[in-house]
Structure 1
Amino acid sequence: MIDPRLQTLRVLRAEGTVTATAAVLHLTPSTVSQQLRQLAAELGVQLLRPTGRRVALTPAAHTLVRHADALHEQWERAAAALEAHSTGGAGHLRITGVASAMAAVTAPAVRRLHTRFPQMTFHLSEDPGEDRFRLLVAGRADIAVVIPAAGTPPPGDRRFTQRALLQEPQDLLVAEDHPLARRAAVELRDAAHETWIQAGDPHDQHQLLLSAAAAAGFAPRIEHAAVDWFAVASLVAHGHGICLMPRLAPLPSDLPVRRVPLGGRGAPTRHLVACARRGSTGQTTVSRGLSALQEAADAWQSAHGGGPLPGE
């Protein structure tokens, strides 16, 4: 119902290039360029200016995007209001999120939803390498479960509603024969001279290590890197280094590794946040999804947030 060229401009603002915008919207770059030229001509303003091989939004374009954000928020509210007049199934819900949250929070939440609302259908995806906020803007996901990091939209961003789900402790993962494995708890600075593994998603987990280490007064010596937590645990078990391990992340039971709780002032934690397009939370499927995610997060927090480590 809203001019699709406004959505193209919003996605371009998020993606930064015509090529990336075209890929997200499943259009050709020439179609994206044509849409924006037509929109600029109809409005009588310049929307883009070249900056090398990229394009930048003009002040007029930024003004238009602010109004487009408000229009899309209002449309999400209208869709929620119209939903009360519709008939049929219980709807389809698409959730994207980080892998550790998928295993510990999203999957249990969707199981709850399927039990309560058997007609609901779901699509769950980790979407590795994707900016999950951009998936929301592009309409490719309804809810994103994310770990805020440097560069992610702030809580006040007009495009999104963000709800805190849980605060997740970080553990130190070491081999069973490592001297720190015998400790009931350690402070991060106790591991300042260790060899570290860049573990997990480089966009959030690695940034957490860097910032936590800086706060503890050292820069970690990083020798290896792996994203999959089973691969990370194998590197640790074979003596190649230590790493920060999110409490949500599962460990293989057959590897000689040990989680050691991190304590002391400034012990690192991750914050898990559920995000949706602003205005969409009144829609039944999104509202149910957010509620189920919060229930699953509360259950996990009660079981693991400050209690025994998983497997103990």
Structure 2
Amino acid sequence: MLADGLAEHGTVTATAAALHLTPSAVSQQLRLLARDLEVELLRPEGRRVYLTPAAHIVLRHADTLQAQWEAAQAELAQQSVATRGTLRLCGVSSALAALAAPAVSRLRRTHPLVEPLILEEESAECYRLLLTDEADVALVLPGPDAPPVTDARFEQTPLLTDRQDLLVAEGHPLARPEGVELAEAAGQPWIVKKQNNDSYHLVTAACAAAGFSPRIAHQLKEWYAVSSLVAEGFGVCLIPRIVPLPQHAVTRVPLRGEPIPARRLLTAVRRGSAAHPLVTAGLDALREAASARTANDCWRVGSR
């Protein structure tokens, strides 16, 4: 994992920050790995450190070895009579509220010996938590900061397609029950936080597909705060269908035309770990919660 991190981040310092370790700890672990393998892994050049050809050989095998280790752990865990232990589930807040909460409730009934631990993080951080073995299952959104679905370190599976609506103040000219096309909101001020926020990439991608670049007037992330500003007429935003409307004077407007903005929620686990009884139970519960959400989408489009 350390050599993999160095290949991704370029320097020992950046790798240490990504893995929440000190640079000296990273350097020490890399020296120990090099000693065990009896090869040189790092080559200093000026103020930077680069991977040697031997290190690239190690990297080619690292993902396969890690997946085999996960599969071995899963097979050993299957020998137990009952599924037990702590299941660590991370994800973006809206997915945790709409899917993880009912999934965990179901787990408590079907697997009473499983203790869930839920962590709220943006998608990029969720992938890191999987790699550092701080989480077992992640609910993530694909985006520019996320690894591709072909990344050999993960198994990523589509879980739910979540339509997005336009959120406007009550009485707004775009508050039409029949819906609007996203391009009609091109001249509106928009409310979305740019940094550390999966929603920002979704908004900009949706607006670009509709033929415009949104003018970001205010940067907020938490849905209650965003809705409050929308209600006061400070701007508009996209709101996922699975997010319930706060008690504000706002209207959820369905979007028409093509393409209709939507979020694709995925489950992600470390490759090889899906057969572990804990992980299998968690994934099954999430799939059931997603199916129930799709069949009984209870969030009403329109005003409160």
TM-score normalised according to structure 2 size: 0.90
Is 2:250 the partner of 1:257? yes
Is 2:277 the partner of 1:281? no
Cα deviation code 1:193-241 (max 9, x no counterpart)? 1111115875421111111111211111111011100000011011100
Distance in 1, Cα, partners of 2:121 & 2:63: 24
Structure 1 equivalent of residue 4 of structure 2: 10
Alignment of 1:138-157 (within 5 A): 138-157=132-151
Task: Please give the secondary structure, in 2, of the residue aligned with 1:281.
Answer: coil
Cα deviation code 1:75-114 (max 9, x no counterpart)? 1111111113346761210000000000000111010001
- The one of 186, 204, 215 aligned to 1:210: 204
Distance in 1, Cα, partners of 2:167 & 2:173: 12
- The one of 300, 304, 312 aligned to 2:297: 304
- The farther-off stretch of 82-91 and 105-114 is 82-91
Cα deviation code 1:32-83 (max 9, x no counterpart)? 1022123335545443345776544444323312311111100111111111
- The farther-off stretch of 137-146 and 31-40 is 31-40
- The one of 13, 29, 35 aligned to 2:29: 35
Contact map agreement 1:229 1:250 (CA 8 A) in 2:
no
Change (3 A) 1:234 1:308: closer
Distance in 2, Cα, partners of 1:84 & 1:129: 29
Is 2:302 the partner of 1:291? no
- The one of 92, 95, 100 aligned to 2:94: 100
Distance in 1, Cα, partners of 2:97 & 2:39: 48
Structure 1 vs Structure 2 CA RMSD: 2.6
Amino acid at match of 1:309: V
- The one of 259, 264, 268 aligned to 1:266: 259
- The one of 224, 229, 232 aligned to 1:235: 229
The Cα of 1:166 is off from its aligned counterpart by 0.6
Change (3 A) 1:275 1:19: same
Q: Which runs of 4+ in 1 moved over 2 A?
A: 7-29, 37-63, 84-89, 127-130, 199-204, 307-312
- The farther-off stretch of 127-136 and 143-152 is 127-136
The count of corresponding residues between Structure 1 and Structure 2 is: 304
Structure 2 equivalent of residue 166 of structure 1: 160
Is 2:73 the partner of 1:116? no
Contact map agreement 1:199 1:229 (CA 8 A) in 2:
no
The Cα of 1:300 is off from its aligned counterpart by 0.8
Task: Please give the secondary structure, in 2, of the residue aligned with 1:184.
Answer: coil
Amino acid at match of 1:249: V
User: Percent identity at matched positions?
Assistant: 50
Q: Give unmatched runs, 5+ long, in structure 2.
A: none
Structure 2 equivalent of residue 3 of structure 1: none
- The one of 59, 77, 86 aligned to 2:71: 77
Distance in 2, Cα, partners of 1:123 & 1:20: 28
Cα deviation code 1:134-185 (max 9, x no counterpart)? 1111101001100000131111211111111010100000000211113421
- The one of 165, 183, 188 aligned to 1:194: 188
- The farther-off stretch of 181-190 and 22-31 is 22-31
Is 2:120 the partner of 1:126? yes
Change (3 A) 1:164 1:33: same
Contact map agreement 1:199 1:244 (CA 8 A) in 2:
no
TM-score normalised according to structure 1 size: 0.88
Distance in 2, Cα, partners of 1:129 & 1:162: 12
